[in-house]
Chain A
Amino acid sequence: MTTTQNALILPIIGLTDDASAEGVAQALRGVPGVESAHVDLVTAEATLAVSSKNPPTPDALSAAVEAAGQSVPMEKTSITIGGMTCAACIMHVEHALSGVSGVQKAQVNLATEKASVEFMPGVVSLDSLRKAVEDAGYIMSGVVGDGTTNEEEIERLSKTHEVRELRNKLAVSLTLGLVILMGTLEDLFPWMPDFLQNHYTLWSLATPVIFWTGWDFFTSGLGAVRHRTSNMFTLIAIGTGTAYAFSAAVTVFPGFFEARGVESAVYFDTAAIIIGLILLGRYLEAKAKGQTSEAIRRLMGLQAKTARVLRDGKEEDIPVEQVFVGDLIVVRPGENIPVDGTVIDGASEVDESMLTGESLPVEKAAGAHVFGATTNRTGSFTFRAGKVGTDTALSQIIRLVEEAQSSKAPIQKMADLVASYFVPIVVGVASLAFILWFTFGPSPSLTYSMLTFVAVLIIACPCALGLATPTAIMVGTGIGAANGVLIRSAEALERAGEIQTIVLDKTGTLTVGKPSVTDIIPIGVTEAEVLRLAASAERGSEHALGEALVTAAEERTIELEQPTDFEAISGQGIVAKVGSTMIAIGNSVMMASRNVGLGETAAETEALATSGKTPVYIAADDTLIGIVAIADTIKPEAAEVMAKLRAMGMEPVMLTGDNRKTAETIAKQVGIDRIVADVMPQDKSVKIKELQAEGLAVAMVGDGINDAPALAQADIGIAMGTGTDVAMESAGVTLLRGDLHGLLTTFNLSRATIRTIRQNLFWAFFYNTALIPIAAGAFYPVFTTWGNGVPSGLEFMFGELGFLNPMLAAGAMAFSSVSVITNSLRLKRFKPGG
């Protein structure tokens, strides 16, 4: 099913140049059963014509490729197996699967009913696996899905459950808290019915708030104490616990407190409202998390449910979970593409905006990669499934975003560390206040000391501290995603702000990574005629060079003819008939073999070669009619972005495997001074290390698989491109659009986020710390002992005696939480690249 009757496509890794590609092709031709073999350097694939009678064994093919010094990558997939009843079944299924030609390894897990299969792509089809499993007496229900169509998964991601539970708790705690509040403050709410002012009623109302809605805070806080540390929940637990226990004691033994001359006051309202406010913060946080997942949720909705697979020449609709690597899938206009893959036939425009943010549809022809969940627009095409299940770009993106949201930034760790010191200090201050008031305070000293103790614990509760980092990170990563910048971890977001040197890979990062026609030198005919003949001849070609010619012709709206007798000659070029003219396009070797005289062109081709361009000769009926120069073009925004990076205090460095001369030409154009040229792919990470040894914080920007080690080595790796590459796995940041402006977005966003976190931490500490002395009753002596009582204008804050009203303390805390959240939401106004 993977290919047509006797054609076979094998991916090859390790190809570096034409010679290595030819080496592999030759090795494959030597395998019995292989009739012809062609290796394309650009797509890194070997196309084989094999005998349908005695096809070559996969092992022989992979051995041949390995003998040529390259390798065939193995794909891994997970399939579900039904009908396994006993331990022996594991072996039956494993035997059956390993017996399939092309399967390297099969491992069965009885408990999960899944088999993990390692196989050679292009050779093994889902059907052959299914047949093997069914012949052994079991059922194969398909490839283990990535859950993108799974409602539960969507719900889990959008945190619906968490949000709902928090919302319920929040509603209960705030409602009861308000009722308790109004019942407690008899003077303000005299119209409240008597039974609601009864202390026993208030107690019974406060109990579910503490023991149900706030229970998590107690378990978490006490858990920390058990580990001899403390967190913000420790403080909440102590504060509200004290208020609750004290009030309960007052309710049961009012006489004890009244006997000392103070009216018995209960603080059930304080306990309930504090828990309500903290729940509010947590609810907002959970909701924000859910909202950041909204984009993902929408993406998931776009995932096609079925795929139209070509089997035995017939189109067949199957559930997307059953699509297997190597299946041929037909996509009609307007349909969503079910999985990732490579177009093999037909052409169309695909709307990839949901994946890359790029609003213009992207043209897709044979050889182009297409991605699941994107929408096909105009044409229809057939593509070969390359990645399914959890391997698709969509699934990877979802995983990356999830990881980023759950990771802790170092600055968050700092916040926790500070909190762990803050808590014992606060408890110490509260205890000190208690002792001082008890010893030196006016009568009734126990009530005063209890009041100050409770007030200090409550005011110091750093609940806004807990919100400071996560809210900023969440808004920051969310904004990044909306602008085509995927930030994988909170750490990456933070580190990006400290980068001094930014190393950029040349091909595919600074340049488009796709050759285009730069010069046309006609000989004896017009420029348009050269292009018309050359592009027409290359029309059927899948080679990058051919594409460049066709694109150049289309740009000049030159009408092309359909070539006949197209023939690709490996390592040389192509020959095809356009009309009645025989066109040959290729290198000097080809021209020599066809006895085409190159005339006086040596100087010109030499000049082209030194400026980093590849000259291609074009001959009509074995007469040279022109030379076309092909080169990778620099991204239009490159120079502007480099200048801006410099203005932000970062030095761009170009890293390339090209020779210094070519590198310098490009570096000059984009405005880079420092060049590291002639670098072998495997040495890229070494070069990063060298820069780091200079004491620089280095960012690496790259796109290819060979950049992966360097991306991982750098302080922060930034992967370019469509986000399907291995590079993405090793990078902390992925620029979905492949647009260098994303770099500016990344660094600006990082700086803005870190700034916001610092502001948040300041506000969280500022409010709490500033109010501690007031809560401890330090103003009592100021107003009452030495002064003439609290001035009437300040009574709202200090009451009659110079204490902080516990109720106002709770309000102030709410204010600090709200200001932290608001400050984080201010990040939403962030302008990318600004």
Chain B
Amino acid sequence: MSPKILGLFGKNETALDPVCGMTVGVKKSPGGTHMFGETVYYFCGPGCRVAFAKEPVAYLSGEKKMDM
């Protein structure tokens, strides 16, 4: 089921991985979470979390955009 349908049940919220742009489930974030400022960010894998933790501003501002 797509995250959207799951969302209808109000159980599985999703968020965007700020590093790679993938949609991630919030409840069991595969890459863990990272708190920056007041916001909690969710990640597809630990790799993205580590990358984000190093340079959060760069990823949030879009300066560090992955060419994929």
- CB within 8 Å of B: which residues of A? 83-89, 91-93, 135-138
Q: Are A137 and B20 in contact (CB under 8 A)?
A: no
Cβ A83 vs Cβ B48 within 8 A: no
Closest CB of chain A to B66's CB: distance in Å? 5
16 contacts between A and B (CB under 8 A): A83-B45, A83-B47, A85-B44, A85-B47, A86-B17, A86-B20, A86-B22, A87-B68, A88-B48, A89-B20, A92-B48, A92-B50, A93-B47, A135-B50, A136-B47, A137-B50
Which residues of the other chain, A, contact B45 by a CB distance below 8 angstroms? 83-86, 89, 137
Closest CB in chain A relative to B7 CB, distance in Å: 21
Interface size range of chain B in the complex: 10 to 19
Q: Which 3 pairs between the two chains have the least Cβ-Cβ distance?
A: A85-B45, A137-B50, A88-B20
Measured CA separation A133–B32 after assembly (Å): 18
Interface residue ranges of B1-59 to A (CB < 8 Å) = 17, 19-20, 22, 30-31, 44-51
Say yes or no: A136 contacts B66, CB within 8 Å: no
Whether the pair A89, B48 counts as a contact (CB closer than 8 A) is: yes
Other than the given A137-B46, A138-B47, 5 more pairs (CB < 8 A) read: A83-B45, A85-B48, A86-B44, A88-B20, A138-B46
Q: CA of A624 to CA of B47 in the docked complex: distance in angstroms?
A: 69
Residues of A close to B44: CB separation below 8 A: 85-86
Chain A nearest CB, measured from B29 CB (Å): 11
Give me the interface of B with A, judged by CB distance under 8 Å: 17, 19-20, 22, 30-31, 44-51, 66, 68
Pick the most buried of B17, B47, B50, B51: most chain A CB atoms within 10 A of its CB.
Answer: B47
Q: From residue A89, how far is it (CB to closest CB) to chain B in Å?
A: 5
Give complex CA distance A93, B31 in Å.
15
Interface contact B20-A136, CB-CB below 8 Å:
no
Q: Which residue of A lies closest to B51 (CB)?
A: A92
Contact A89 B47 (CB under 8 A): yes
Q: Residue of A at shortest CB range from B66?
A: A88
Chain B contacts for A85, CB-based, 8 A: 22, 30-31, 44-45, 47-48
Name the distance in Å between B53's Cβ and chain A's nearest Cβ: 9
CA distance A92 to B51 in the complex (A): 7
Closest to A86 in B: B20
- Closest residue of chain A to B48 (Cβ to Cβ) is A88
> Min CB distance, A661 to chain B, in Å?
65
Q: Which of A83, A88, A137 contacts B68 (CB 8 A)?
A: A88
**Chain B interface SS verdict (over half):** loop
Q: Check if B49 sits within 8 Å of A137, measured CB to CB.
A: yes
Contact partners of A91 in chain B: CB under 8 A: 66
| A91 CA / B68 CA spacing, docked (Å) | 10
Q: How far is the CA of A8 from the CA of B38 in the complex (A)?
A: 49
- Residues of A within 8 Å of B66, CB to CB, are 87-88, 91
Task: Kindly state the separation between the CA atoms of A91 and B48 in the bound complex, as whole angstroms.
Answer: 10
Distance in Å: Cβ of B63 to nearest Cβ of chain A: 15
Chain A min CB distance to B33 (Å): 13
Q: Closest CB of chain A to B52's CB: distance in Å?
A: 10
Could you tell me if A88 and B51 are in contact, using CB atoms closer than 8 angstroms?
yes
Expressed in whole angstroms, the minimum distance between the Cβ of B68 and any Cβ of chain A is 4
Q: How far is the CA of A84 from the CA of B22 in the complex (A)?
A: 13
Cα-based distance from A377 to B37 in the complex (angstroms): 64
Shortest CB–CB separation between residue A134 and chain B, in angstroms? 10
Q: Is the CB of B31 within 8 A of A88?
A: no
B55 nearest CB across to chain A (Å): 12
CB distance from B50 to the nearest CB of A (A): 4
Cross-chain contact B47 with A92 (CB below 8 angstroms): yes
Instruction: Chain A residues near B46: list those with CB within 8 A.
Output: 83, 137-138
- Docked-complex contact B22 and A137, CB < 8 angstroms: no
Are A84 and B68 in contact, CB atoms less than 8 angstroms apart? Answer: no
> In chain B, what residue has the closest Cβ to A89?
B47
Least Cβ distance of A427 to chain B in Å?
58
A84 to B51 CA separation, bound complex (whole angstroms): 13
Nearest Cβ in chain B — how far from A679, in angstroms? 52
- B31, chain A: closest CB distance, angstroms: 7
Given contacts A85-B44, A87-B66, A87-B68, contact A136 B51 (CB under 8 A): yes
Closest to B68 in A: A87
* Residues of chain B contacted by A92 (CB below 8 angstroms): 47-48, 50-51
B47's closest neighbor in chain A, by CB? A137
CA A84 to CA B50, docked complex, whole Å: 12
Report whether A136 and B30 are in contact in the complex, using a CB–CB cutoff of 8 Å: no
Task: Closest B residue to A85 by CB, please name it.
Answer: B45
B31 contacts across to A, CB distance below 8 A: 85, 137
Which residues of chain B have C-beta atoms less than 8 A from A89's C-beta?
A: 20, 45, 47-48
Nearest-neighbour CB distance to chain B for A177, whole angstroms, equals 57
Residues of A within 8 A of B68 (CB): 87-88
Q: Which residues of B contact A93 (CB under 8 A)?
A: 47
Q: How far is the CA of A89 from the CA of B22 in the complex (A)?
A: 12
Q: How far is the CB of A540 from chain B (nearest CB, A)?
A: 48
**How far does the Cβ of A743 sit from chain B's closest Cβ, in whole Å?**
56
Contact A88 B19 (CB under 8 A): yes
Contacts of B48 in A (CB 8 A): 85-86, 88-89, 92, 137
Shortest distance in angstroms between B48's beta carbon and chain A's nearest beta carbon?
6
Find chain B residues with CB under 8 A from A138 CB. 46-47
Distance of A735 Cα from B44 Cα, bound (Å): 54
Residue in chain B with minimal CB distance to A81? B47
Collect the chain A residues with CB atoms within 8 Å of residue B50's CB.
92, 135-137
